Amino acid sequence: MRMDERKKQVLAAIVQDYILTGEPVGSRTIARRYNLGVSPATIRNEMADLEEMGLLEQPHTSAGRIPSDYGYRYYVDCLMEPEKLTPAEEEYVRQRYNQKMLEIEQVLEETARLLSEMTAYTAIALGPNQNNAILEQVQILPVHSTNKALLVAVTSTGMVEHRIFTIPGNVTTEDLTRISRVLNASLQGIALEELRQAVLRDIYREVAQHRGLIKQVIDLLQQILALEGSEKVYLEGILNILSQPEFKNLEKVKEILAFLEREEALRRIFKATPGSGLTIRIGQENKEEGIDKCSVVTISYAVEGKIMGKVGLLGPTRMHYSRVISVLQCVADSLSRSLTQFYR
């Protein structure tokens, strides 16, 4: 069956109306709201053809139709018109990134908040992979009135990691200061993945009496490496899912919330997309368990042309795709510019 111009108009009208209302769309609604120049009976025939082609579905409780995953895909690829943000919205995004942020974590947390706020969907941001991060500073600080200390590790990409750990009772503040100095002298400028035995032997030789403490610190730094190598995930707007009428079913909501709790699954939805640019996955195109009724739109961000990570939005297949794309493109551009300060 051929996809002629009238069928395209009818499909576009149904998708747009369903995105707007969340209600199945009938032929009379299309005839009344959209100036297609044909009767409800003609529209009804076209809708029957579109259903036969797999582009529309009929919920059993309604005489109206809704788009199928395939219908959304055709709409996004062939019919959707871009929706530009207003100058005021673009300026709002710029202002959000103009505030002073000292760490990459702050920038990515703000990015997820901004995306969720501007779209009312669930926002996910994937931090940069830090396998090649350079260690800039290590500091060990006493936690007063306890037998614990705080390890602070700062990398060249602006990531700051904190770990609290137990120290022997005979270790003084002066000892911690000296150990920090030795660690900085030995490890500064070294990629975390290059912590090799030769470097460790030099450190052990410098502070031989605290070998056990040094081993603790090195173990913690290697744990940080494992975490950073997996990229951090930032999540905002989880409860936005509850405002979507298609997710009133408690079991469906539980499946989505369970998915959002699995950081490795969240990383996989980014890694399943091409390295750069914008990607849209609709309904069953998402292979992760729990989100086959959702759409996921992702975009990469870069610093000086190098892809650093990705941000995305998760919502119902009845997603306002044209607005989501414009918001993601605007935010990713501002995010890329904001991160440049951390890589100079």
Encode pLDDT of 289-300 as tens digits: 899 999 999 999
Q: Confidence class of residue 203 from pLDDT cuts 50, 70 and 90?
A: confident
Rounded to two decimals, the pTM is 0.78
Among residues of the chain, what percentage have pLDDT more than 70?
91
Kindly report the CATH number that applies to the domain delimited by 135-226: 3.30.390
Among residues of the chain, what percentage have pLDDT more than 90?
55
For 272, residues 6+ apart whose C-beta sits below 8 A from its C-beta are 281, 287
Q: Confidence class of residue 198 from pLDDT cuts 50, 70 and 90?
A: low
Query: If you ran DSSP here, which 8-state letter would residue 223 be given?
Result: H
Sort 63 into a burial class: Cβ within 10 Å, 0-12 / 13-18 / 19+.
exposed
The more confidently predicted of residues 102 and 85 is 85
The partner residues of 303 in beta bridges, in order of sequence, read: 306
- pLDDT at residue 196 tops 70: no
Query: If you ran DSSP here, which 8-state letter would residue 75 be given?
Result: I
CA gap 81, 227 in Å, rounded? 41
- pLDDT at residue 88 tops 90: yes
- pLDDT at residue 93 tops 90: yes
The highest-level CATH class for domain 5-79 is mainly alpha
Beta strand pairing status for 122-126 and 306-316?
antiparallel
The more confidently predicted of residues 134 and 5 is 5
Architecture category of domain 87-129+231-343 in CATH: 2-Layer Sandwich (3.30)
Q: Tell me what the mean pLDDT of segment 312-339 comes to.
A: 96
pLDDT at 212: 85
Domain coordinates in residue numbering, the chain: 5-79, 87-129+231-343, 135-226
Closest residue by Cα to residue 263 from 125, 98, 115, 67: 125
The partner residues of 233 in beta bridges, in order of sequence, read: 126
pLDDT at 303: 87
CA torsion sign for 189, 192, 197, 201 is positive
